[in-house]
A = this chain, B = another copy of it.
Amino acid sequence: MTITGAKPSGRLPKSERRTQVLSSALEVFVDAGYHATGMDDIAERAGVSKPVLYQHFTSKLDLYLALLDAGIDELHASYAAGLRSTSDNKVRVQRTVQAYFEFVEDPQGAYRLVFESDLINEPAVRERVDQADLAVAQAIAHIITEDTGLSPQQALLLGSGMLGMSQVAARRWLRHARTDISREEAAELIASLGWRGISGFPLSHPPEE
């Protein structure tokens, strides 16, 4: 009782406490959003008291941004690995879509901070999310440029379309179709939709009939 460092007890070294606070905060933010959660809620969840939070983070926003960054890094790592792992563009598209589905399925739920943040109007948040989206859209745009004759602007637009497709479909799947369709099948379906769409473009110029 007094010996083992059981989860909800005693003092912790700074770095461990920080990690624990982060994970508690993530839980709360994930299921209530930024505005509806108070620092008190986070403190309570962490089994600690409010000033402790401020020993690790200068403000509520600061704490939130740390989690947002971690979430974005997670997503990036995942899709970047997929892109590096092959040079077959079709497979690359599949892996990118997979990455979104996997990210969304992560039980920690960090995707909610990245895709459904209720703090989008905070410049610091918008900037990060925009930047993250842009990076993915550009990656896809690059693939598109290799396989079609579209201009960079057009390719980027399509890239962001693909991104939106993956993001929204992954979220719908998570909430409404997870029992009917396996993650792999769902991702494969969406990837096909996208890949067929891309490869249908001629090697120069816009569509016409």
Contact = CB atoms under 8 A, between A and B. Distances in A.
Given A121-B36, A164-B169, A166-B161, A194 B197 contact: yes
B157 A168 contact: no
A48 to B, nearest CB: 24
A39 interface: no
A188 B206 CA distance: 9
Contacts of A117: 118
Contacts of A168: 133, 160-161, 163-165, 167-168
A188 B160 contact: no
A121 B35 contact: yes
Nearest to A190: B161
Copies in the complex: 2
Given A167-B164, A192-B197, A193-B197, A157 B173 contact: yes
A33 B195 CA distance: 36
Contact of A164 (B36, B165, B180, B196): B165
A162 B37 CA distance: 33
Interface of A: 32-33, 35-36, 116-121, 133, 137, 153-154, 156-158, 160-169, 172-173, 177, 180-181, 185-186, 188-190, 192-201, 206-207
23 contacts: A33-B121, A35-B121, A116-B120, A118-B119, A118-B121, A153-B180, A157-B173, A157-B181, A157-B186, A158-B169, A158-B189, A161-B168, A162-B193, A164-B165, A164-B166, A185-B206, A188-B207, A193-B197, A194-B197, A196-B196, A196-B199, A196-B200, A197-B197
